[in-house]
Amino acid sequence: MRHVVDPDDFVALHAIAGLTSVTDEMLPTLLNWLNQDERLAAVAAQLLLRQHAVRPLLEAVHRGGHGRLWALRALGDLPREMVRRNGAEMLTREIQEDLEPIWIGHYDWLRDDAAAGLEALDVQKLRFNPLL
């Protein structure tokens, strides 16, 4: 697992993609990483997200601290119904309210491909300058 935090992005990305499962023995380390520097926290959140580790992520949310934000970010990337189904009693109303702005992004058609299209159209705007 040490390669997932390699300082070389190429190595780290390949290690993250190649990690097919997160074992129970890895969970404490990943949950700890959520509260570390941004690079470690991002790797931990991504690995937990890729494993659909709803309950460990909710555990991190309940622990609070900096890791709470990374855990919320990862949970927000998961489908709402998956989090609700697997989170059960750990998914409080407050946490759901924190996740809603992220979840709504899944339905925003003006993000992703459309956003790139809007940016391209913005560049094409004619700028009127009365002084020229």
Whether pLDDT at 17 is above 90: yes
Find the helix packing angle between 54-63 and 80-87, rounded to 10°: 80
Select the more confidently predicted residue: 112 or 105: 105
- The C-alpha atoms of residue 96 and residue 82 are separated, in whole angstroms, by 12
CB 75 within 8 A of CB 61: yes
pLDDT at 123: 78
- The C-alpha atoms of residue 86 and residue 49 are separated, in whole angstroms, by 13
Confidence at 30, pLDDT banded by 50, 70, 90: very high
Report the 10 Å Cβ neighbour count for 28.
10
Whether pLDDT at 131 is above 80: no
And the tokens for 118? Answer: 């809007």
Q: What is the pLDDT of residues 43-96, one digit of tens each?
A: 999 999 999 999 999 999 999 999 999 999 999 999 999 999 999 999 999 999
- The C-alpha atoms of residue 28 and residue 24 are separated, in whole angstroms, by 8
pLDDT at 126: 66
Report the 10 Å Cβ neighbour count for 15.
18
SS3 117: helix
